[in-house]
Structure 1
Amino acid sequence: MANSDVHLQHISQQFNVDLRELRNHVLVMGGLVEKQVADAVEALVRGDSELAEMVRQNDNDVDKLELTIDEECTRVIAKRQPTASDLRLVVAIAKMVNDLERIGDESEKIAKNALQLLEEGEAPRGYVEVRHIGSHVGKMVHDALDAFARFDLDLAFEVMKEDKSVDIEYKTAMRSLVTFMMEDPRSISRILSVMWVLRALERIGDHARNICEHVIFMVKGKDVRHASLEKTEKLIERS
């Protein structure tokens, strides 16, 4: 259920410009962290040290964007004193930016583990799971940003449901790796690095879900952070 630009139309043309710039900066930051996730996973799976280093360096750009957008949110609230849906938009963006920055942090952790594995030697197991779950959470991040760009409640809810699937995939992969470590103690250090990567990916899925919860708050004015999927779905259906 897309709501187009209904949140971005005001009598004040400058207010329209401020909100559009704010939204566009979030999407730029989102595009950067989406690429960070994909590059971090690729660096690990391919054993690409240059790509891993690039992910780590680009995290500084993500941090700078977070600060810029935070300042913009503060300025819009101070100058425009937004109310109702406008205030929800600015508040939701401020929260989303924190989740995007955390996704960048988790991507950097994956890149660090990729570099460590290059030094220690490739892990004997877990790369298939990393690629699979990495692709899954990467799509979640992409769709969460799309839901924000289009104020699309249905897409936001679909991403929230996907987080359950990622949790199941993560737990299954971890059990498999623990079993392998018990069978081959020599692999423990390298397998632990892969497990930290899987943990980072699972957290990225959590942050994608959080972004979608902020989208629902932005559009509906309801906080669904601790609501069940069933209650959230009923809220959306009443739109």
Structure 2
Amino acid sequence: MDKMTFDKHTSAQFNAELEDARKHLMEMGGLVEQQIETAFKSLMEVDTDLATRAIEKDKDVNKMEITIDKQTTQILAKRNPAASDLRFIISVTKTVNELERIGDEAAKIAKQAIELADTGSGPQGYVELRHIGEKVRQMVQSALDSFARLDAEAALSVMQQDKAVDLEYGTAIRSLVTTMMEDPRSISRALNVMWALRSLERIGDHARNIAEQVIYLVKGKDVRHKKLEKVAEQVKK
């Protein structure tokens, strides 16, 4: 979908402002996706150049957050939006905040890559790390896609994936603790991997939060802190 269908306004400029906000949000989302990919690759390959690039990209993400915040604030002040337009502005504002936090977590992953490089070790052997990393990258992509397409069912799927990631994260952490107990020499590397896993799990949480905003935008229902079964009922209504 290239454009969202907003409420009909007598002001064409109002429509243009809303569409511009949507485009900037999608642009920020694409930037964050690139940052995640670069950070994760830097971790798996222990590449400090890629890690530095991912950390630097966080500055661009932060600039976009400020730009979109100003944009939505001006729309609220000038247009006093109501109904679905107001839901859209609220959803954009909250989604931008989630994207900025995802960028922060991606930067943390890149910093763990640098830490691993400094110790001369890598994350090889931790298959859970790669698996969880691929899952959360897909979650972010799917959450943004559901926003672009106003697809509440796709957003629900993202929320369901987050539950699976949380379970896998718990298993991975227990495995790392066991590894550290059995081989004290592995503690430093295992801790770096553990912190990277934590950031990946948090990215999954933020992707879920974006999905919740999509459902709010499309259905007008606040599904935060609700069980998945209840969310599914509201999505299918």
SS at match of 2:81: coil
Contact 2:44/2:122, CA 8 A, preserved across alignment: no
Equivalence map 1:152-171=2 (5 Å): 152-171=151-170
Per the alignment, residue 60 of structure 2 pairs with 61
Contact 1:161/1:229, CA 8 A, preserved across alignment: yes
Change (3 A) 1:124 1:10: closer
Per the alignment, residue 100 of structure 1 pairs with 99
- CA shift, 1:144, in A, is 0.3
Distance 1:205 1:181 in 2: 25
Contact 2:61/2:103, CA 8 A, preserved across alignment: yes
Contact 1:7/1:86, CA 8 A, preserved across alignment: yes
- CA shift, 1:124, in A, is 6.1
- CA shift, 1:16, in A, is 1.1
- CA shift, 1:77, in A, is 0.5
Per the alignment, residue 138 of structure 1 pairs with 137
Q: Which amino acid aligns with 1:170?
A: Y
Percentage identity across paired residues of the two chains: 56
- CA shift, 1:9, in A, is 4.7
Equivalence map 1:1-239=2 (5 Å): 5-7=4-6, 9-123=8-122, 127-238=126-237
Contact 2:45/2:122, CA 8 A, preserved across alignment: no
Distance 1:5 1:113 in 2: 39
Moved over 3 A (4+): 8-11, 123-127
Give the aligned length.
236
Contact 1:160/1:212, CA 8 A, preserved across alignment: yes
Change (3 A) 1:9 1:142: farther
Contact 2:4/2:19, CA 8 A, preserved across alignment: no
Q: Which amino acid aligns with 1:146?
A: D
The CA deviation string for residues 215-239 of structure 1, in whole angstroms up to 9 with x for no partner, is 111122211001111111111111x
Structure 1 gaps, min length 5: none
